[in-house]
Amino acid sequence: MIKPSAKYFPRGRALLTAALATLLLGACGARAEQVGAVDTVFKFIGPDHKIVVDAYDDPKVAGVTCYVSRAKTGGIKGGLGLAEDRAEASISCVQTGPIQIPAPLKQQEEVFSERISLLFKRLRVVRMVDAQRNTLVYMTYSDRVIEGSPQNSVTAVPVPRNTPIPLQK
């Protein structure tokens, strides 16, 4: 029996390699802690559709936690991680302790990212610094490799005046 090799299927091997690399890279970075979930649609086979609420602690600003709610697709595809979740998300960031900023922050920086489809769609949270008002602004949105979604949500965390926000130059 002749075994197929990469010599005969170079495109398939390249796609498989890209898929594995994307999955491994997606596993790195800030991880969410699920706070809770509510079922929205019953699925006879596989998990139900639901809305999940995840908590993310800002890795560069101690004392700030962001809560992101988003739809999570259930069913067989959702259970296997093959479904594409919807682009809508909502965010609320709050002060959960004394705010400490040990190193200068970029004016705008992605602080969290999580895949919401097998390969091409990501949910992102970006931190922006409003230096004039001494406030941290967080925005969530989703994007794809080809096109993103204009749907977004924004929240702001005022930083006490006695704690200036250091900016990178």
Q: Is residue 21 part of a domain?
A: no
Residue 76 backbone phi and psi in degrees, to 5: -65, -50
Q: Is residue 3 part of a domain?
A: no
**0.75 exceeded by the pTM?**
no
Q: Is residue 13 part of a domain?
A: no
Tokens standing for 115? 């895949």
pLDDT at residue 27 in the model: 38
Structural domain boundaries enclosing 112 = 31-158
pLDDT at residue 162 in the model: 93
pLDDT tens, position by position, 120-162? 678 889 999 999 999 999 999 988 656 666 788 999 999 999 9
Give the chain's domain count. Answer: 1
SS3 61: coil
- The chain-wide mean pLDDT, for the chain, equals 77
Q: Is residue 1 part of a domain?
A: no
Find out whether 153 and 132 touch, Cβ atoms under 8 Å. no
Q: Is residue 4 part of a domain?
A: no
SS3 15: helix
Could you tell me where the DSSP H helices lie in 58-108? Answer: 75-80
pLDDT at residue 71 in the model: 78
pLDDT tens, position by position, 88-100? 789 999 999 999 9
pLDDT tens, position by position, 14-58? 434 434 433 333 333 457 898 988 887 666 676 666 888 999 999
The residue that leads in pLDDT, 6 or 66, is: 66
pLDDT at residue 20 in the model: 40
The residue that leads in pLDDT, 38 or 1, is: 38
CA 133 to chain centre: 26
Rounded Cα distance between 121 and 33, Å, is 20
SS3 26: helix
Rounded Cα distance between 105 and 168, Å, is 5
Find out whether 77 and 67 touch, Cβ atoms under 8 Å. no
Q: Is residue 130 part of a domain?
A: yes
Q: Is residue 117 part of a domain?
A: yes
Query: Which of 70-84, 102-116, 133-147 is least confident?
Result: 70-84
Provide CB contacts within 8 A for 140, sequence distance 6+: 68, 89, 90, 91, 123, 124, 125, 126, 152, 153, 154
pLDDT at residue 150 in the model: 78
Q: Is residue 2 part of a domain?
A: no
